[in-house]
A and B are shown apart, each in its own frame.
Chain A
Amino acid sequence: MKRAQQGTTRLVIGVTKEISKHIFLIVMALVSIYPVIWVVSTAFSPGQNLATGWHLVLWIFPIPNSPTLAQFQFLFNPKLISFSLWAKNSLIITLSTVVASLAVVLPAGYCLSRRVFPGRSSIMFSFLLPTMFPGVVTIIPLFLIYAHFHLVNTYLGLIIAYTVGSLSLSIFIMKNAFDGVPKDLDEAAKIDGASDIRVFWQILLPLTLPSIATVALWAFMGAWLDFALAHVMLENNNLWTLPLALYSFITATSVEYGTFSALSLLMAIPVFIVFMLFQKYLVTGLTAGSVKG
């Protein structure tokens, strides 16, 4: 009798625990996605000032009164704003950064992983250094240097800066990835007469594709989403990138949260999808092999 009672008590405790875990997880999941819910409903509501066009469902969820695509149509209306121009600027800068970053990172990662040469570890350490510098420490002198070399208000200046900015992490991701490919494979291929370059293209690259994609993604995000540097370097609004445009919608004289939300979604969705696909590799890279996953 007593034992049965104990059994039920334990069961009740177990169930309560399980339920409280679920409640906590549900609350945290809601907190996590709430801003996204807000952006989506603002993007599909008419009007700009946030106060109208939607109502609260279940006390906390904003739902548009009459869902509309007006905000998106406004963005794509060529007469009103220069969305297509800004998107083009962003694309040119971002894609160039990705290509430049891969061109620098792949050989460097390869050689730090496969070659032994004097100064190797100090070179590796120096690539890590920038992670310790507050970004602004270099932005200010960089602006003065760029002004001197007429690189302010140019794509090239930004592309170079973003490429270098992506190096610290990317070189480590690639070095770790190449380290993960057994050296026996290279040696076997070399015995069969393959050159170093062939080993690199035909063995190492295909085996490290996920990491290469991660490096590309990292460079892409650095350039696509940068605000601080672009804010300083691009004074001419014909050269603006999307983040500057986005910022201007809510800080200019008129606050246009509707347009802001629509543009946010357009900018964030591609990043979100790719990010979800590659998150595993990004974590490995970000912690640079120090944390075993």
Chain B
Amino acid sequence: MANPTEKNKDLRKILGQVARNKTAYLYVLPGLVGLIFLVLYPFAFDIWISFTNWNVYHNSRLGNLAYVGFKNYLLVFLNPTYGFVKISENTALWTIGCVLPTVALGLFLAIILNSKIHGKGIYRMFLIVPWAMPSFITLLVWRGMLDYEFGIVNKVLVEFFGPKSRVDWLGDPHYAFLSMVVANIWLGYPFMIIIFSGALQGIPNELYEAAAIDGAVGWREIRYIIVPLLKPTLLIAILLGSIWTFNNFNAGFLLTGGGPGISTSIFIVQAYNLAFMLFNFSESATYAFIAFLILATVGILWFRYTGVIGGGKKESQ
């Protein structure tokens, strides 16, 4: 137990250190202030809203805002009309369905590009185009290409399979979800190619040669040499990919807007629609906070079981 004089001593020590490192704190201050007022405070505010009845009829401007406890959470969890189960399913399917194919495709392409093959540079340049083009624009382009009546995808289908082969890519719930996933995989694999190419170049050539003598070629080489050696990179790629996909508002919103209905809605799109289409801010905040909790839990478990830190610390390999 600290007595008052000891406490004073500690305080003086801290103040002394702050004074000594004045310039250092001054340099990080603007960033920290921004972070506190534009990220941390809104975040806390969001949690608070989720415990109120903030909507069109009740808000601070009307002065009839009330604390409602866990009512919003109970409604979201227990009232089936809120579609929580459907949206959770969508989000899980969306994250896994996008990340795994993206990582696999990226790794496979990186391995091919790392082998002795002509025209590597040109292929690489074409392959990373989806990453270099702004995703906000390319997603809207996809939307145009998938248009039921005028879209080129249906035009090509008709060309090959006749007029009955048109598909309602964005209007039919199942196809709409598929379209979203495909478009997002298209957006994602170039980045994976780039980080896996970097990591593959770190594997010494002698290793492949020695492995080839022992009979590890083709799939075996991938299974027993490349994947184990690339494990740290793979784990980081899957984690980053999952966070980005889970939070990818553009990909979830620009193609389908979550529709038809809520059939392709993921957490982040649902939170957005609830707030800015229906002005039901408290329910939106509830969704947003649940989404954050899920992501944080998965992220922490991932850190704990894989020992990979997403940034800052250099990995000692």
Residues of A within 8 A of B (CB): 18, 21-22, 24-25, 28-29, 31-33, 35-36, 38-39, 42, 49-51, 56, 59-60, 62, 103-105, 107-108, 110-112, 115, 117-118, 120, 123-145, 160-161, 163-164, 167, 171-172, 196, 221, 224-228, 231-232, 243, 246-247, 250, 257, 260-261, 264, 267-268, 271-272, 275-276, 279, 283, 286-293
B42 touching A145 by the CB < 8 A rule? yes
Size class of the contact patch on chain B: 35 or more
Give min CB distance, B251 to chain A, whole Å: 12
A244 CB, nearest partner CB in chain B, Å? 11
Partner of B39, one of A56, A164, A290: A164
B311 and A288 contact, CB distance less than 8 A:
yes
Q: Which residues of B contact A272 (CB under 8 A)?
A: 132-133
Contacts A25-B123, A145-B42 given: A105-B137 contact, CB under 8 Å? no
B219 in the interface (beta carbon within 8 A): no
Contact with A along B117-146 (1 / 0, CB 8 A): 111000101111111111111101111110
Interchain Cβ contacts under 8 Å between A and B, 7 examples: A117-B24, A127-B31, A131-B310, A133-B292, A228-B250, A291-B199, A292-B317
Given contacts A50-B151, A140-B46, A144-B281, contact A264 B137 (CB under 8 A): yes
Q: Of B141, B281, B299, which one neighbours A140 at CB under 8 angstroms?
A: B281
What is the minimal beta-carbon distance from A60 to any residue of chain B, in angstroms? 5
Contact A130 B132 (CB under 8 A): no
Q: Does B171 touch A at the CB level, under 8 Å?
A: no
CB of B236 within 8 Å of the partner chain: yes
Contact A141 B32 (CB under 8 A): no
Secondary structure of the A contact surface, majority rule: helix
Q: How many A-B residue pairs lie within 8 Å, measured between CB atoms?
A: 293
Partner of B249, one of A118, A135, A286: A135
Assess A129 versus B295: contact at CB under 8 Å? Given A29-B123, A50-B150. Answer: no
User: Does B92 sit at the interface, judged by CB under 8 A?
Assistant: no
Contact string, B280-317, partner A, CB cutoff 8 A, digits 1/0? 01001100110110011001000000001111111101
Cβ of B134 and Cβ of A38 under 8 Å apart? no
B27–A111 touching, CB < 8 Å: yes
Partner of A35, one of B17, B113, B138: B138
Q: Report yes or no: B27 in contact with A107, Cβ–Cβ below 8 A.
A: yes
A232 to B141, CA, bound (A): 22
CB pair A130 B152 closer than 8 Å: no
**Chain B neighbourhood of A49, CB < 8 A:** 150
* Pairwise interchain contact B46-A287, C-beta atoms closer than 8 A: no
Q: Which residues from chain A contact B42 at a C-beta distance below 8 Å?
A: 137-138, 141-142, 145
- Asked if B34 contacts A172 (CB within 8 A), the reply is no
Q: Does residue B112 face the partner (Cβ distance < 8 Å to A)? A: yes
- How far apart are the CA atoms of A130 and B21 in the complex, in Å? 26
